[in-house]
Amino acid sequence: MKYNFNDIEKKWQNYWSKHQTFKAENNSDKPKYYVLDMFPYPSGAGLHVGHPLGYIASDIYARYKRHKGFNVLHPQGYDSFGLPAEQYAIQTGQHPAITTETNIKTYRRQLDQIGFSFDWSREVRTSNPEYYKWTQWIFIQLFESYYCKDSNQARPISELISVFEAEGNSRINAACDDDVAPFSAEDWKAMSSEQQQETLLKYRLTYLAETEVNWCPALGTVLANDEIVNGVSERGGHPVVRKKMTQWSMRISAYAERLLQGLETIDWTDSLKESQRNWIGKSVGASVTFNVMSSEMLKQVQHDESERHSEIDSESHHTIEVFTTRPDTIFGVSFMTLAPEHDLVLEITTAEQKAEVEAYIEATAKRSERDRMADVKTISGAFTGAYAEHPFTKEPIPIWIGDYVLAGYGTGAVMSVPCGDQRDYDFAKHFNIPIPNIFEGVDISEEAFADKDNTIIANSDFLNGMNYKKATKRAIYELEQIGQGQGKTNYRLRDAVFSRQRYWGEPFPVYYVNGMPQMIDVKHLPLTLPEVEKYLPTEEGEPPLGRADVWAWDAKQNKVVSNAMLKQVQHDESERHSALDAESHKDNSVYPLELNTMPGWAGSSWYFLRYMEEAAQRGEAFATEDALKYWQNVDLYIGGSEHATGHLLYARFWVKFLKDRGFVTVEEPFKKLINQGMILGTSAFVYSLMHSFTVKTISSNYGIDELKFPNVFIPKASYDSFNKGEFDTSLKLGLDIIKKEFERKGFEVEVNWDKVSLNPIHTDVSFVNASDELDIEAFKNWRPEFKDAEFVLEEGVYKVGREVEKMSKSKYNVVNPDQICEQYGADSLRLYEMFLGPLEQAKPWNTAGITGVHGFLKKLWKLYVDDNGLKVNDAEATKDNLKTLHKTIKKVEEDIENFSFNTSVSTFMIAVNELTDQKCTSKAILEPLLILISPYAPHIAEELWERLGHSASISTAAFPVFEAKHLVESSKNYPISFNGKMRFTLELPLDMSKEDIEKAVMAHEKTIAQLEGRTPKRVIVVPGKIVNIVG
């Protein structure tokens, strides 16, 4: 009987679906285990073989855990809000919901055919209103919370209001905007409702703020930094400008320290933790306040040093705050540098320097961020003419501006210590500013000395003779004494902008009364997306929701109403001089709704919690307390490393917040995380020959414009030699073809070798066979412009060039899993994806190699079934059989625990090869073997399991137990090495003593031959391992 994988796989996929084999229960005596994949965005292109890699790995692990007796939750869903569907809607007018639905169908079909053990009953879709109702709910919880730095957690905003009412904000230690002014209880009560709301907004964990964004006028939207390439939008190449906009932000910065500390408690790769650490960017140091000297003070210093304290002009008193990680070097400050955008620059600049400073500011403003970054080497700056006073020496310090200081980091100002910082050093050298040396025995004539761990401070008053640690402590203490500084920790992590000017995202549950945001009551959620006639921004530059006709909130009836109602109210309001009584007015409760939508990461920041809840219970909460308590967090999370600083950081932030407010019980969502490596495509290239001929005679039949340049392709070898400056025969043949084509049309042309150019062009990999030969007919039919293409052949064929690149539609190198499943089966695909190499590593796909694992499955089949049917019998297992089985159990178990799936596929091959050689038919061996293989190749395992007489799915069978006794050996084939190099092996009993081993080895003829009469200096015998003879 043949291994008919197509029928078998269909049969078992139907069986699993019908019997809900992989449905997880929310209560069970078994221990829980939660295996999660990063859910996909359902793109129109469908899956290529790179996508399922992580899913296959997690599926193997999930199935393994079931065999090991765990209650496994292994769900799947769709991150179904997103830009491509919206882009498609803009182009075609098709509603993104329809596009998304269609794409999901394709995804589901493709996923099903690979045989995953997903519990589809718990599927989530972020664009489903029943789902985003709870995304909106979380947003409201964030709005209703502030971050208390004393208890280090988020707390209800109502608590804050009580404190404000009782005593103002003087004793509140909370994360808030920098510009919150102190106020008393009386001040608070005196505020208008709007003023109070405005104040509270500065404390809320999600808040409205003016943020500078990358605005793309052509697309009508804000772009993230990585959506901008070379100063223009990645999509479409439109110009991008910096613009201030009022947008929702998330106060993730409040959680910076906890996000950093939490990394210590989770099992993620070092590189991933490292990128989160870099992103959070903690630096410990001090903030130091420098007083700007007035011109009078300055004169005093210059004229009479002894009386410099006598007079202080308080009128024009400015201070500059800086952040430094090196307060120990404070006596090395010889100038200060402000970012050109710093608020104080224009105020402190002297009349003489005004022109220069303004010119410099203008010049830097013109340069885009990209230019500034690309051009790190050029040093530029301008002197403001102003001086600051050194906090200890009271010496004047010149204040400069320079674009190497970034407005967005720290305070946008630095105390420049040229002897200890290379950038300060370069700046000082460039502008001839003194570079005082404050390090003992260090030469700073060539470069700055930045090594803080090997330094003794000198020329620094009370810091002399101290090391970095001591000096830092002392400097901070002294600064505190004079009230000009304190220890400070700075984080790079910025608050996250949460508004997008797009249609296909979650609407904010927000309406505006007198410009102040109001939350829609939770019981009226979800607030669903309105219909719009076009998915583009409005002519006025409003987001697409600005086009909706029914997008106003009736706060009395608590429902969305037509904008017409709104206009009436506004109209009336503008005429309120007529002393209209507001209460008598029926429609005064209609307000505008928020026009922005939430970003892609909103829905993905909590979806793993939604899976915990069974579908039937999903109405009442984002997940019930019982479900959250039972599943806790994700035990194993598999996904791409591209989410290192986005999704993975935001999800941790939201979970920490939900924990603070008592909605979940865990601090970290993902206990263990693995990044699967990318599967790369093998692109195929043809080499197009171009030549600008000098035309000598123009044909009378054709105008020069009508003459199409013929497409001629030459072999890879010609391309390679061309790049070395050579012209081979094939290339000359190619030129001849072009020339003849011209001549046929009556043009006389002259070959010019300097004008030959060759272009590699991607061709679809499906036109290429295993020997790299191009199907020329298929290529010609591919695109109209190649219809008349000419190929210069080698030995009758055209061989393409190959290059390994990211698998992508635009590179025509995608391999579709559908065809693989059709031709070799899902089990082959699963095994092969695992066999390619380590899970976390990037590796090239090569379909030809799949015959190896496919052959293995056929061999496995033949071990159980032949032409007469089932071969397996009750024959007693031989010693060899048991040895093979148990070493396989041991290895496979270790491999799965270590996520080394590639090596276990090899182990299966070895086991099947050995058992085939042993002609094993024993059920006692072949039955447990099937369980070992079933996580990897579940379909064939189920089929053979059934044929062995089982009625229940193999997925419930217990994992075989390893017994060491079957691997006990009595002898060892010792490698005998000379000076560490193995020369021959010698079979010796394992219980032989060291001395006897040495004797046996020394007496061996090959040892004697190897030594050639020399006496060895030493003989190392490691019993059970190796013998090494040193001579």
Residues 896-925 close enough to bind RNA by CB under 7 A: 898, 900, 902-903, 905-906, 909-910, 913
Q: Which listed residue (90, 201, 882, 1026) binds RNA by CB under 7 A? A: 1026
Closer residue to RNA, CB minimum distance, 369 or 818: 369
Q: Which listed residue (851, 956, 971, 993) binds RNA by CB under 7 A? A: 851
Q: CA-to-CA distance for 9 and 98, rounded, in angstroms?
A: 30
x/- string (CB under 7 A) for RNA, residues 225-244? Answer: xx------------------
Written as six digits, the tokens of 639 are: 């996904």
Written as six digits, the tokens of 307 are: 């009386």
Task: Report residue 223: phi and psi, to 5°.
Answer: -115, 145
**Beta bridge partner(s), residue 485:** 288
| Residues 701-730 interacting with RNA (rule: CB under 7 A) | none
Q: Which listed residue (810, 973, 1003, 1005) binds RNA by CB under 7 A? A: 973
x/- string (CB under 7 A) for RNA, residues 1000-1019? Answer: ------------------x-
Closer residue to RNA, CB minimum distance, 404 or 654: 404
Measuring CA to CA, which residue among 553, 656, 696 is closest to residue 175?
656
Please, what is the minimum distance in Å from the beta carbon of residue 795 to RNA? 14
To 10 degrees, the CA torsion angle through 60, 64, 66, 69?
-170
Q: CA-to-CA distance for 464 and 456, rounded, in angstroms?
A: 8
| Residues 364-423 interacting with RNA (rule: CB under 7 A) | 372-373, 375-376, 403-406, 409-410, 412, 414-415, 421, 423
- The total number of residues shown for the chain amounts to 1031
Tell me the three-class secondary structure of 838-850, residue by residue.
CCCCCEECCHHHH
Please, what is the minimum distance in Å from the beta carbon of residue 297 to RNA? 25
x/- string (CB under 7 A) for RNA, residues 192-231? Answer: ---------------------------------xx-----
Please, what is the minimum distance in Å from the beta carbon of residue 962 to RNA? 13
Query: Is there binding between residue 5 and RNA (CB under 7 A)?
Result: no
Alpha carbons within 13 angstroms on the beta-carbon side of residue 332 total: 30
| Residues 595-624 interacting with RNA (rule: CB under 7 A) | none
- 8 Å CB contact between 493 and 280: yes
x/- string (CB under 7 A) for RNA, residues 818-847? Answer: -----------------xxxx--xxxx-x-
Please, what is the minimum distance in Å from the beta carbon of residue 856 to RNA? 6
Closer residue to RNA, CB minimum distance, 168 or 852: 852
Closer residue to RNA, CB minimum distance, 119 or 403: 403
Interface region with RNA, contact rule CB under 7 A, candidates 292-300, 539-547, 922-930, 974-982: 974-982
Q: CA-to-CA distance for 232 and 961, rounded, in angstroms?
A: 60
Please, what is the minimum distance in Å from the beta carbon of residue 145 to RNA? 27
Alpha carbons within 13 angstroms on the beta-carbon side of residue 257 total: 10
| Residues 640-659 interacting with RNA (rule: CB under 7 A) | 641-642, 644-645
Query: Is there binding between residue 859 and RNA (CB under 7 A)?
Result: yes
**Beta bridge partner(s), residue 36:** 637
- 8 Å CB contact between 784 and 657: no
Please, what is the minimum distance in Å from the beta carbon of residue 762 to RNA? 18
- Nearby residues of 952 by Cβ (< 8 Å), 6 or more positions away: none
Q: CA-to-CA distance for 150 and 254, rounded, in angstroms?
A: 12
- 8 Å CB contact between 125 and 518: no
Antiparallel, parallel or unpaired: β 1026-1030 and 971-978: parallel
Q: Which listed residue (982, 989, 991, 999) binds RNA by CB under 7 A? A: 982
Query: Is there binding between residue 981 and RNA (CB under 7 A)?
Result: yes
Closer residue to RNA, CB minimum distance, 288 or 293: 288
Please, what is the minimum distance in Å from the beta carbon of residue 989 to RNA? 15
| Residues 571-590 interacting with RNA (rule: CB under 7 A) | none
- 8 Å CB contact between 479 and 158: no
Closer residue to RNA, CB minimum distance, 98 or 848: 848
Three-state secondary structure call for residue 446: coil
Query: Is there binding between residue 696 and RNA (CB under 7 A)?
Result: no
Closer residue to RNA, CB minimum distance, 221 or 324: 324
Closer residue to RNA, CB minimum distance, 91 or 973: 973
Q: Give, in order, the Cα–Cα distances in Å from 110 to each of 106, 371, 820.
A: 6, 45, 11
- Nearby residues of 532 by Cβ (< 8 Å), 6 or more positions away: 503, 544, 545, 547, 548
- 8 Å CB contact between 313 and 302: no
Please, what is the minimum distance in Å from the beta carbon of residue 370 to RNA? 10
Cis peptide before 544 (omega within 30 of 0): no
Measuring CA to CA, which residue among 454, 418, 519, 406 is closest to residue 141?
519
Please, what is the minimum distance in Å from the beta carbon of residue 771 to RNA? 7
| Residues 69-128 interacting with RNA (rule: CB under 7 A) | none
Please, what is the minimum distance in Å from the beta carbon of residue 373 to RNA? 5
Q: CA-to-CA distance for 695 and 741, rounded, in angstroms?
A: 13
| Residues 279-298 interacting with RNA (rule: CB under 7 A) | 279, 281, 283, 285
- 8 Å CB contact between 670 and 631: no
Antiparallel, parallel or unpaired: β 319-324 and 228-229: unpaired
Closer residue to RNA, CB minimum distance, 29 or 178: 178
Q: Which listed residue (84, 168, 640, 852) binds RNA by CB under 7 A? A: 852
Q: Which listed residue (184, 295, 617, 979) binds RNA by CB under 7 A? A: 979
Written as six digits, the tokens of 613 are: 């809840």
Query: Is there binding between residue 1025 and RNA (CB under 7 A)?
Result: yes
| Residues 755-784 interacting with RNA (rule: CB under 7 A) | 770-771
| Residues 483-542 interacting with RNA (rule: CB under 7 A) | 490, 492
**Beta bridge partner(s), residue 802:** 684
Helix, strand, coil in percent for the chain, rounding step 5? 40, 20, 40
Q: Which listed residue (156, 855, 869, 949) binds RNA by CB under 7 A? A: 855
Q: CA-to-CA distance for 633 and 33, rounded, in angstroms?
A: 9
- Nearby residues of 437 by Cβ (< 8 Å), 6 or more positions away: 332, 419, 444, 458, 459
Q: Which listed residue (145, 501, 977, 1007) binds RNA by CB under 7 A? A: 977
x/- string (CB under 7 A) for RNA, residues 257-276? Answer: -------------xx--xx-
| Residues 310-349 interacting with RNA (rule: CB under 7 A) | 323-326, 339
Interface region with RNA, contact rule CB under 7 A, candidates 24-32, 209-217, 714-722, 890-898: 890-898
Burial class (CB in 10 A: 0-12, 13-18, 19+), 181: exposed
Please, what is the minimum distance in Å from the beta carbon of residue 188 to RNA? 35
Size of the site for RNA (CB under 7 A): 85
